[in-house]
């Protein structure tokens, strides 16, 4: 509540008195924080990330990517190899990742379908320590058109604490209205005002009706009320920087209102995520392609198969998975090119941005999690090693990578979401991964 109130005060006061540039992360370089990333994107593709689809042929040991040729599925990253670090040999044995680790993929703990998060996830924890923004954390989820329409919000990957999932936005029309409805016209503006009035009324009614509940129910009910307070507070904060936001709002076209394929919605969801980062609305973006489950469709790529069956296909040299992975990497390229085009400090936004690409299924749909490939893009001012491939020995968990991200973001810690007892069984070391840091 204190954070939400302080953000509201900053947005309203500074935005009205001095213009949007006074708000951290809005219209100014993120140079107010020394060292470390200023923003982070997590991109998770479901059904697994087979290491053979990202490790150059013949590379068995750690080394430079300079003379290597990237595999066909990620060939679009060839011009960006100097920004790329491919990591193999982390594990997630303790997360139960078969058919998805769900919250455990970013939490580094046991996860499963229908199991609530047992702790916060790394994306949320980073959102608390990176430069303060109006919306600390934004999650977008890409799926089949049927699923995105039937369930425009789902919570499978991110969490703010035990039993506190964070929802992904899958309907770009709803997300656009939430972010830019206050500066729009016509139907979008009318929907924005109608929803605002409705949410205000729901918050008032909900707050008044929870007093007589038992203590345990009051806590759960309090989170429900707090959710509406967050929504309403965000709308007010965004209204305080409306002039600034007009520079970044994407144009609404028929891909929003009359999509031919689900990939049309995937593309505009990515555009909205990029606009939220470029405008400074948020500093952490989580993208769930497949939304952390075993579903998903890519008919716009000419892929007719969808959902669970995709996970039963071998990924290496598979034309279907080559198309899906190439689509992913085209999105990674777009992210980098968009950030490279924006000056920030003495460089560009990309100089202060880290992209983490992986899967919520480790290496394949039916997996023990013994190997969990990762790709990092960006060196964040030279903090991260790039232009290389690192083969680890399989004795350190994905938690070690997340520990590294917290340390370079100014949070010294030896472990993330792993007790000493768990570490004795699943982690051969402690602290950051020295292999990824300069």
On average, the pLDDT of the chain sits at: 86
* Residue labelled with tokens 């990253």: 77
Find how far residue 307's CA is from the centre of its chain. Answer: 21
- Give residue 31's pLDDT: 37
- Higher-confidence position of 202 and 372: 372
Q: Which residues make Cβ contacts (< 8 Å) with residue 263, sequence separation at least 6? A: 298, 299, 300, 301, 327
Give the integer Cα–Cα distance in Å for 246 and 256.
18
pLDDT, tens digit, 9 for 90 and up, residues 23-75: 444 443 333 434 689 999 999 999 999 999 999 999 999 999 999 999 999 99
Find how far residue 122's CA is from the centre of its chain. Answer: 10
Q: Outline where 240-353 has alpha helix (H).
A: 242-245, 254-257, 262-279, 319-340
Of 154-163, 222-231, 323-332, 401-410, the least confident: 222-231
pLDDT, tens digit, 9 for 90 and up, residues 123-158: 999 999 999 898 889 999 999 999 999 999 999 999
Contact by Cβ (8 Å): 134, 233: no
pLDDT, tens digit, 9 for 90 and up, residues 241-264: 888 888 999 999 999 999 999 999
Flag whether pLDDT at 14 surpasses 50: no
Please state which of the four CATH numbers 2.40.160, 3.40.720, 2.40.10, 3.90.1150 is assigned to the domain occupying 39-176+249-436.
3.40.720
Give the integer Cα–Cα distance in Å for 405 and 362.
19
Q: Which residues make Cβ contacts (< 8 Å) with residue 337, sequence separation at least 6? A: none
- Give residue 136's pLDDT: 87
Of 92-101, 203-212, 386-395, the least confident: 203-212
- Give residue 17's pLDDT: 27
**Residue 385 — very low, low, confident or very high, per pLDDT cuts 50/70/90?**
very high
pLDDT, tens digit, 9 for 90 and up, residues 172-201: 999 998 888 876 666 665 665 455 555 555
Give me the percent of the chain exceeding a pLDDT of 90. Answer: 74
Give the integer Cα–Cα distance in Å for 255 and 80.
29
Find how far residue 395's CA is from the centre of its chain. Answer: 26
Q: How many helices (H) and strands (E) does the chain have?
A: 13, 12
Other CB atoms closer than 10 Å to residue 382's CB: what's the count?
10
pLDDT, tens digit, 9 for 90 and up, residues 403-421: 999 999 999 999 999 999 9
Contact by Cβ (8 Å): 247, 279: yes
- Which sequence spans correspond to the domains of the chain? 39-176+249-436, 185-248
- Give residue 2's pLDDT: 41
Q: Which residues make Cβ contacts (< 8 Å) with residue 210, sequence separation at least 6? A: 218, 221, 222, 225
Q: What is the torsion angle, in degrees rounded to the nearest 10, for the CA atoms of residue 385, residue 386, residue 392 and residue 396?
A: 60
* Residue labelled with tokens 């076209």: 253
**Residue 240 — very low, low, confident or very high, per pLDDT cuts 50/70/90?**
confident
- Give residue 21's pLDDT: 35
Give the integer Cα–Cα distance in Å for 320 and 297.
11
């Amino acid at each position: 509540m204190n954070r939400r109130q302080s953000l509201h005060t900053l947005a309203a006061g500074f935005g009205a008195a001095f213009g949007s540039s006074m708000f951290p992360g809005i219209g100014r370089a993120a140079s107010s924080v020394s060292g470390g990333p200023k923003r982070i994107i997590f991109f998770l593709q479901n059904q697994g990330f087979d290491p053979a689809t990202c490790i150059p042929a013949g590379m068995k040991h750690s080394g430079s990517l300079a003379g290597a040729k990237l595999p066909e599925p990620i060939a679009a990253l060839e011009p960006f190899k100097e920004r790329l670090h491919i990591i193999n040999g982390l594990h997630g044995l303790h997360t139960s990742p078969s058919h998805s680790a769900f919250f455990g993929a970013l939490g580094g703990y046991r996860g499963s379908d229908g199991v609530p998060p047992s702790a916060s996830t790394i994306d949320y924890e980073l959102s608390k320590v990176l430069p303060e923004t109006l919306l600390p954390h934004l999650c977008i989820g890409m799926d089949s058109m049927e699923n995105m329409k039937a369930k425009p919000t789902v919570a499978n990957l991110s969490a703010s604490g035990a039993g506190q999932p964070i929802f992904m936005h899958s309907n770009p029309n709803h997300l656009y209205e939430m972010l830019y409805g206050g500066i729009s016209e016509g139907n979008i503006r009318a929907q924005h005002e109608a929803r605002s009035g409705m949410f205000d009324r729901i918050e008032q009614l909900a707050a008044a009706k929870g007093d007589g509940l038992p203590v345990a129910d009051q806590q759960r009910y309090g989170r429900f009320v707090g959710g509406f307070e967050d929504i309403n507070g965000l709308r007010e904060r965004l209204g305080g920087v409306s002039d600034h936001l007009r520079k970044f709002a994407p144009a609404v076209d028929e891909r929003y209102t009359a999509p031919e394929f689900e990939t049309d919605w995937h593309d505009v969801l990515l555009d909205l995520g990029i606009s939220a980062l470029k405008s400074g609305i948020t500093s952490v973006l989580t993208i769930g392609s497949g939304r952390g489950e075993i579903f998903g469709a890519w008919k716009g790529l000419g892929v007719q198969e969808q959902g669970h069956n995709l996970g039963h296909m071998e990924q290496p040299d598979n034309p279907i998975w080559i198309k899906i992975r190439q689509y992913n990497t085209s999105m990674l390229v777009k992210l980098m090119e968009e950030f490279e085009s924006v000056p920030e400090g003495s460089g560009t936004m990309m100089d202060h941005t880290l992209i983490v690409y992986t899967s919520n299924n480790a290496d394949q749909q039916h997996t023990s999690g013994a190997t969990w490939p990762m790709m990092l893009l960006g060196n964040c001012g030279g903090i991260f090693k790039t232009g290389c491939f690192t083969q680890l020995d399989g004795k350190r968990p994905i938690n070690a990578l997340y520990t590294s991200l917290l340390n370079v973001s100014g949070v010294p810690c030896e472990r993330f979401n792993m007790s000493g007892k768990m570490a004795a069984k699943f982690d051969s070391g402690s602290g950051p991964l020295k292999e990824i840091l300069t």
